[in-house]
Amino acid sequence: MPENVAGPADSWWSDAVVYQIYPRSFADSDADGVGDLQGIIERLDYLAELGVDVLWLSPVYPSPHDDNGYDISDYQDIDPLFGTLADFDRLLAGVHERGMKLVMDLVVNHTSDEHSWFTASRDGGPGGPRRDWYVWRPPREGVQPGTPGAEPNNWGSFFSGPAWEYDEASGEYYLHLFSRKQPDLNWDNPEVRQAVYAMMRWWLDRGVDGFRMDVINLISKVPGLPDGPVHGAGRHGDGSAHYVCGPRVHDYLAEMHREVFAGRTRPLLTVGEMPGVTVDEARLFTDPARREVDMVFQFEHVGLDQGPGGKFDVRPLKLTDLKASLGRWQTGLGERGWNSLYFSNHDQPRVVSRFGDDSPAHRDRSAKLIATVLHLHRGTPYVYQGEELGMANAPFTSIDDFRDIESLNHHRDQLALGADETDVLEGLRQRGRDNARTPMQWDATEHGGFTTGTPWIAANPDHKHVNAEAQLADPDSVFHHYRRLIGLRHTEPAVTHGDFSLLHPDHERLYAFTRHHAASATELLVLANFGGDELTVELPDGWEHGDTLVTNVPDPSPLTGRVTLRPWEARVHRRRTA
């Protein structure tokens, strides 16, 4: 985060590509069925070959793993499941030796209920020294404490049920926006903020290159914690208006910047995960002059295929909606803001199954099309492990195949409400987070070469033909397509800096846009046929003399006044505009 930058496009990360590792599922070196730091160390050459600049590690801190490590019980150590601090230092050195950077996950909206901060807060009772580090409230008056409806307000948690847990010993409730084992910290308490900043400085001093900040726009709650509206049949209210981008969130992030990042000259990266953030808010968060964060993860485009019933209420995606949404973010952040570009992460289903076509006939080509579209936008692209192989959703058949607390709670609660299990499982199969968490597919051997033990979650059986070893050997693979796209971001200034213009916004199958970069007198044209039928497209004027930078078919048709795109064909052309 350089000081005094003119705009985000001047920052070191403007042409960087980030790769997300979900350590639990990446590579297991000690056969306990869970990935670990040594496993990552052994795969660093693979990541260097892909060409990414930054690795983001999902949490590796000590944790009871109620939410796979997003429930942290000690911020300044490594969970023995993953290794030791010494292993971490070796990993960091290996990353740096290869010219890459390492960004840690920072989960500070909440801790684990097994963190010593929380046990002290709970066990000290009302008035105790750490009580005010978390959000404690008395029961609602007139209702028997500990019974439904006695919670201090009506907010539901993201993982089903109320956002409050009753503590019998003190007769009070604590707030947890996520699981009951993830109590929310009270950011209005300056001691909490200082403890978090001290921990962040400790990691930076150790050599890490920044942080991905988990649900960081939820840290400031509206005082009084008012009830939220109740949608549909549930008894829980939607409290989001009272904690999404709450009243002091900008103050807290600016303070964090002053206390943790200011004055550090090493190139660092900060990205805030921000569910529900709007373009206008994101412009404020990412304006370099405000010194809050470098970029944000917004959620609009990954909610477009969701019905009013929430994330498991699956609707077909309308391409026009996706284009309109991403296009609005492209132009809306303007010169003073910066986008993170992602379709995939550990919370989202696999993108080739979601927005592409994972049938054998179209899988590779649609995976490459999706990558081409995303990587040609303006912003910093994020690749989630296995995405670069076109890994697909898992063939889960019963609830026993799932591991994720969100899916298990949803299944339990829906069945209790009388829902049909077939429907519930279908929603989980399409949207469940475990789709992203099946083992990384290294080769065609048992469990995809992820472990020689028993994996904590089953490998996708398609690893027999979809795996890194096969793709490294095939120059036409999805892997090599990603490698070329990543390379292009490093070499073609129009990819990094060009202005974005959406073409044909109302076309239901064609995703088309240009990137114009005046300084290098270059314009790029991206054309993508989102579907299994051919599509004929009239070219805008002046493109007959362009060259072809990227294609996902063996012999793309020549550039004439009109071109015919094959099923799931994507191409990028370039012309000089001098």
Active-site annotation, residues = 214, 273
Task: With beta carbons less than 8 A apart as the criterion, state whether 451 and 31 touch.
Answer: yes
Q: Which residue is nearest to ligand GLC (CB)?
A: 70
Min CB(59)–ligand GLC separation in Å = 9
Min CB(18)–ligand GLC separation in Å = 15
Give the single-character DSSP code of 260.
Answer: I
Residues 94-133 that bind ligand GLC (CB under 6 A): 107
The C-alpha torsion from 47 through 50 and 52 to 56, rounded to 10°, is -40
Q: Determine, following the binding rule CB under 6 A, whether residue 215 of this chain makes contact with ligand GLC.
A: yes
What is the rounded distance in angstroms from the CA atom of residue 325 to the CA atom of residue 322? 5
What is the rounded distance in angstroms from the CA atom of residue 147 to the CA atom of residue 127? 24
Q: With respect to ligand GLC, which residue has the nearer C-beta, 95 or 215?
A: 215
Q: Determine, following the binding rule CB under 6 A, whether residue 404 of this chain makes contact with ligand GLC.
A: no
Residues 6+ away with beta carbon under 8 Å from 56? 18, 19, 20, 21, 103, 104, 105, 212, 271, 382
Instruction: Please name which of 14, 90, 26 lies closest in space to residue 54, comparing C-alpha atoms.
Output: 14
Q: Determine, following the binding rule CB under 6 A, whether residue 523 of this chain makes contact with ligand GLC.
A: no
| Angstrom distances, CA of residue 3 to CA of 12, 194, 266, 289 | 12, 22, 11, 9
Q: Give the other-Cβ count within 10 Å of 413's Cβ.
A: 15
Residues 192-211 that bind ligand GLC (CB under 6 A): none
Min CB(276)–ligand GLC separation in Å = 11
Residues 216-275 that bind ligand GLC (CB under 6 A): 273
Question: How many residues would you count in the chain?
Answer: 578
Q: With respect to ligand GLC, which residue has the nearer C-beta, 101 or 212?
A: 212
Tokens of 73: 């019980």
Q: With respect to ligand GLC, which residue has the nearer C-beta, 214 or 388?
A: 214
Strands (E), 321-433: 340-341, 380-384
Q: Name the helix (H) or strand (E) containing 486.
A: helix 478-491
Q: Determine, following the binding rule CB under 6 A, whether residue 70 of this chain makes contact with ligand GLC.
A: yes
Q: Give the other-Cβ count within 10 Å of 275's Cβ.
A: 17
Q: Determine, following the binding rule CB under 6 A, whether residue 66 of this chain makes contact with ligand GLC.
A: no
Residues 266-305 that bind ligand GLC (CB under 6 A): 273
Tokens of 345: 């992460």
Which of 15, 281, 300, 347: binder of ligand GLC (CB under 6 A)? 347
Min CB(548)–ligand GLC separation in Å = 37
Min CB(96)–ligand GLC separation in Å = 26
Min CB(110)–ligand GLC separation in Å = 7
Q: Determine, following the binding rule CB under 6 A, whether residue 67 of this chain makes contact with ligand GLC.
A: yes
Number of residues this chain uses to bind ligand GLC (CB under 6 A): 9
Locate tokens 């909440």: which residue?
110
Q: Determine, following the binding rule CB under 6 A, whether residue 178 of this chain makes contact with ligand GLC.
A: yes
Residues in contact with ligand GLC by the rule CB under 6 A: 67, 70, 107, 178, 214-215, 273, 346-347
